[in-house]
């Protein structure tokens, strides 16, 4: 906001008024003073507001993306979302990634995602961070880089939107697994194995959904997986740590006070992987745990008890 004229729009006008008056989002980002130049708005129609700006970011959870993109469907400037996950299925055959939601409700938008390893608190404190601007449209990638690239934020462009989105979705599921692993004191070897085999699962699903293998080795894949699986600021990792303490899923999620996208996304990941014939044993174990069908120690035994396998299903290129 120091470099651009920025409006923060909130769906709840009273909440927008409170944030604007306090110059702080006390509920969701306490302790961070909003830049004086940031204008906070709640009353205006977001589609009308979008017409006054060069770029629109949607910063809702996945559950809110469809509604926002529907409202923004006729926007002519680039639109990017920040959410990571699959949309809850809610009556549809299966949950969708952001670009699949957009194709349904706002196909004319020039859109993409801004994603990668980035805890909000650290970004807000201008601590060094690197992100990916992923879109099929060069115009969107360029707009995101021009708006956000700066001394504390490196923004890399990638035209693989599907791959970047799968990375952001699956890493949240794997972070729950790593939280459980650490909460049960299974050891550093176990965590490294989960991260690495989890990356293999993410890559298999991502390629099946149209992503490119190299994207999963980048910031939106491996980068965000390492951050979220090992960083205690992660809400998804916290869910795993709380489950390891014997807390119920409902209790764990409620105590966060923030969204943990990996919880609803885990089921969709396993469902879509099954439809595509993709093997995802770690993600499947997370769903079994979240549904209370197995205890953590049984999930570990099941994963360790699988038959020996080649590290790669097919030999990697030499």
Ligand X SMILES: NC(=O)c1ccc[n+]([C@@H]2O[C@H](COP(=O)([O-])OP(=O)(O)OC[C@H]3O[C@@H](n4cnc5c(N)ncnc54)[C@H](O)[C@@H]3O)[C@@H](O)[C@H]2O)c1
| Annotated binding-site members for substrate | 84, 235-236
Largest CA distance in the chain: 60
Shortest separation between residue 206's beta carbon and ligand G3P, angstroms: 16
If the CB atoms of residues 84 and 272 are measured against ligand X, the closer one turns out to be 84
- Catalytic residue at 171? yes
| Residue ranges in 72-135 assigned as alpha helix (H) | 98-105, 120-124
Residues 106-145 as x/- pattern, contact with ligand X by CB under 6 A? ------------xxx-------------------------
* CA–CA gap between residue 102 and residue 162 (Å, rounded): 12
Choice among 171, 204, 267, 272 that is catalytic: 171
| Residue ranges in the chain assigned as alpha helix (H) | 13-22, 46-50, 62-71, 98-105, 120-124, 138-148, 161-183, 188-208, 213-216, 224-230, 235-244, 249-256, 262-276, 281-290, 296-304
CA 44 to chain centre: 28
The correct pick among 236, 266, 284, 290 for binding ligand G3P (CB under 6 A) is: 236
Asked whether position 28 contacts ligand X by CB under 6 A, the answer is: yes
* CA–CA gap between residue 146 and residue 78 (Å, rounded): 12
Closest CA to 96 of 268, 274, 264: 268
Asked whether position 240 contacts ligand X by CB under 6 A, the answer is: no
Asked whether position 84 contacts ligand G3P by CB under 6 A, the answer is: yes
What are the CA-CA distances from residue 219 to residues 122, 147, 189, 213 (Å)? 16, 19, 23, 13
Residues 285-314 as x/- pattern, contact with ligand G3P by CB under 6 A? ------------------------------
If the CB atoms of residues 184 and 225 are measured against ligand G3P, the closer one turns out to be 225
Which residue numbers belong to the known binding site for sn-glycerol 3-phosphate? 84, 116, 118, 171, 224, 234-236
Residues 131-170 as x/- pattern, contact with ligand G3P by CB under 6 A? ----------------------------------------
Task: Please check whether residue 265 is in contact with residue 94, taking contact to mean a CB–CB distance below 8 angstroms.
Answer: no
What are the CA-CA distances from residue 269 to residues 6, 72, 88, 196, 275 (Å)? 35, 27, 11, 18, 10
If the CB atoms of residues 3 and 258 are measured against ligand X, the closer one turns out to be 258
Asked whether position 224 contacts ligand G3P by CB under 6 A, the answer is: yes
Q: Note the residues at the interface with ligand G3P (CB under 6 A).
A: 84, 117-119, 172, 175, 224, 227-228, 234-236, 261
Active site residues: 171
């Amino acid at each position: 906001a120091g470099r651009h004229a920025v409006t923060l729009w909130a769906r709840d006008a009273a909440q927008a008024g409170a944030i604007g008056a306090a110059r702080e989002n006390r509920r969701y980002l306490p302790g961070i003073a909003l830049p004086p130049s940031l204008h906070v708005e709640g009353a205006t129609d977001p589609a009308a507001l979008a017409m006054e700006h060069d770029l629109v970011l949607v910063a809702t959870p996945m559950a809110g993306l469809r509604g926002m993109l529907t409202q923004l469907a006729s926007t002519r400037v680039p639109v990017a979302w920040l959410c990571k996950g699959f949309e809850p299925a809610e009556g549809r055959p299966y949950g969708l990634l952001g670009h699949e939601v957009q194709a349904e409700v706002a196909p004319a938008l020039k859109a993409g995602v801004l994603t990668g390893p980035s805890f909000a608190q650290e970004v807000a404190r201008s601590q060094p961070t690197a992100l990916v601007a992923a879109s099929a449209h060069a115009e969107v990638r360029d707009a995101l880089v021009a708006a956000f690239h700066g001394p504390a934020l490196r923004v890399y462009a990638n035209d693989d939107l599907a791959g970047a989105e799968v990375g952001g979705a699956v890493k949240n599921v794997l972070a729950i697994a790593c939280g459980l692993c650490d909460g049960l004191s299974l050891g550093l070897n176990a965590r490294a194995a989960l991260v690495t085999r989890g990356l293999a699962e993410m890559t298999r699903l991502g390629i099946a959904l149209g992503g490119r293998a190299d994207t999963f080795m980048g910031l939106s894949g491996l980068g965000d997986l390492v951050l979220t699986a090992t960083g205690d600021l992660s809400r998804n990792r916290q869910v795993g740590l709380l489950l390891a303490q014997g807390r119920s899923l409902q209790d764990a999620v409620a105590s966060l006070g923030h969204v943990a996208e990996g919880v609803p996304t885990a089921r969709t990941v396993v469902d879509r992987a099954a439809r595509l014939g993709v093997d995802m044993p770690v993600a499947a174990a997370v769903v079994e745990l979240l549904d209370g069908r197995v205890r953590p120690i049984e999930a570990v035994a099941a994963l360790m008890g699988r038959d020996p396998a080649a590290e790669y299903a097919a030999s990697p290129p030499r």
